Amino acid sequence: MKPPTPAPQSISNAQMLLDLYESGVTNFHALSLRNFDLSGADLIGADFSHANLSGTNFSFAYLNRANFRSCNLTFAQFNGATLNQANLSQANLRDASLHGASLQGAVLFGADLGLADLSDANLIDGDLRAVNLCNANLTGACMRGANLREETLADSAMLQGATLDDVDLKGANLKGANLDRVSLKRANLAHANLRGASLRGANLANANLQNAVLSDVDASGINFAQANLRNAKLERATLNKANCDKANLSAAVMTEAVLKSASFREADLSAANLNRADLSRTCFQSAVLADCLLIKAYLARANLSYANLSHANLLGSELSGAVMVKVIFSETILADGRISAF
């Protein structure tokens, strides 16, 4: 069998590259292919590793299993492209546009996607360890099963300031990730692992975090308004000044959490576990705390006005200075161990 013709040392235009690929050449390693128009091209399995592809247009191209390792892809366009199982590790994709691209199972380890547009992209099962997504736009992207966190801190993804509204991160591994100031409004994070993550100032309004793991997170100033945190694990979480108004935290585990000056107005905390939590100056106005465990909770100066504490357990809790106007007590175990009649 005749071996494939090797690629020349330089390629002057897109048509020359396509003709070479049709002839069997797939190795375009380290070439300069800046600003080429390869939109709609079939380049499955091509090797562009270490190439300069800045500004190149790959929109709607077929690039499954293509190798873009360590490429310069700044300002490149991959809108609607198919990059399933492609290798984009260590690639520079700053300011690149990947709107609607399919990157299912793609390897983006260590890639720089700062300011990139990944809106509506498919990143299911993608390897996003050590990726830089700072200030990137991932609105509507699907990231189910994506791995954004390795066992070492150096391999954790950088997502500060990214826009991930409506993103699907169900079951994603975000353990220890830096999500400060990230916008995750209406995102699906059900069953996601966020243990030890930093979420300071993040916006997760209306997000779905049912059964998510948020143990040991630092989420001071977070917006959880109307979020679904049913059965979520928040042990030892720091949520100082968090907005949890109208959130669903039923059956959530929040033992030893720090929730100073947080707001839970009209929130559902029924059957939640807040044992030994710091709830000082926290607002529970009109919240549902029925069947809630508040054993040895610190509720000094908390606002419990109009809250429902039916069947709650406040044994040993600290309530000095708490506002308790029209609180509903029904078979509630009070701080001193007495059980309220009604």
pLDDT per residue of the chain (342 residues) written in tens, 0 to 9? 455 556 668 999 999 999 999 999 999 999 999 999 999 999 999 999 999 999 999 999 999 999 999 999 999 999 999 999 999 999 999 999 999 999 999 999 999 999 999 999 999 999 998 899 988 999 999 998 888 765 444 466 778 888 999 999 998 888 888 889 999 999 999 999 999 999 999 999 999 999 999 999 999 999 999 999 999 999 999 999 999 999 999 999 999 999 999 999 999 999 999 999 999 999 999 999 999 999 999 999 999 999 999 999 999 999 999 999 999 999 999 999 888 865
Q: For residue 308, give the DSSP letter.
A: B
Are 78 and 98 contacting, i.e. CB atoms less than 8 angstroms apart? Answer: yes
Amino acid in position 104: Q
Q: Is position 321 within any domain? A: yes
Q: Is position 203 within any domain? A: yes
Whether 99 and 53 map to the same domain: the answer is: yes
Whether 207 and 118 map to the same domain: the answer is: no
Whether 247 and 140 map to the same domain: the answer is: no
| Distance between CA atoms of residues 107 and 92, nearest Å | 13
Whether 53 and 130 map to the same domain: the answer is: yes
Q: Is position 177 within any domain? A: no
Distances (CA, A) of 4 to 50, 245, 322: 21, 64, 80
Whether 106 and 227 map to the same domain: the answer is: no
Which CATH number belongs to the domain containing residue 246 in this structure? 2.160.20
Distances (CA, A) of 155 to 29, 95, 178: 26, 22, 11
Q: Is position 171 within any domain? A: no
Whether 223 and 307 map to the same domain: the answer is: yes
pLDDT at 156: 65
pLDDT at 153: 42
Whether 132 and 238 map to the same domain: the answer is: no
Which structural domain range is residue 241 located in?
A: 194-342
Whether 210 and 336 map to the same domain: the answer is: yes
Distances (CA, A) of 25 to 15, 17, 22, 44, 337: 13, 9, 7, 12, 80
Instruction: Say whether 17 sits in a helix, a strand or coil.
Output: helix
If phi > 0 it is left, if psi is from -120 to 50 it is alpha, else beta; for residue 176 that is left
**Residue that is last in its domain, among 158, 175, 204:** 158
**Residue that is last in its domain, among 114, 131, 158:** 158
Instruction: Say whether 30 sits in a helix, a strand or coil.
Output: coil
Are 81 and 102 contacting, i.e. CB atoms less than 8 angstroms apart? Answer: yes
**Residue that is last in its domain, among 134, 158, 182:** 158
The full 3-state SS of 209-248, as one line of letters, equals CCCCECCCCECCCCECCCCECCCCECCCCECCCCECCCCE
Whether 224 and 341 map to the same domain: the answer is: yes
Q: Is position 189 within any domain? A: no
| Distance between CA atoms of residues 56 and 328, nearest Å | 65
93's tokens: 């994709």
Whether 112 and 231 map to the same domain: the answer is: no
| Distance between CA atoms of residues 266 and 216, nearest Å | 25
Instruction: Say whether 194 sits in a helix, a strand or coil.
Output: coil
Q: Is position 11 within any domain? A: no
Tally of domains within the chain: 2
- Judge if pTM exceeds 0.95: no
Question: 15 phi and psi, to 5 degrees?
Answer: -65, -35
Which CATH number belongs to the domain containing residue 65 in this structure? 2.160.20.80
Name 114's Cβ contacts closer than 8 Å, sequence gap at least 6. Answer: 94, 95, 132, 133, 134, 135, 136
Whether 214 and 137 map to the same domain: the answer is: no
Whether 81 and 202 map to the same domain: the answer is: no
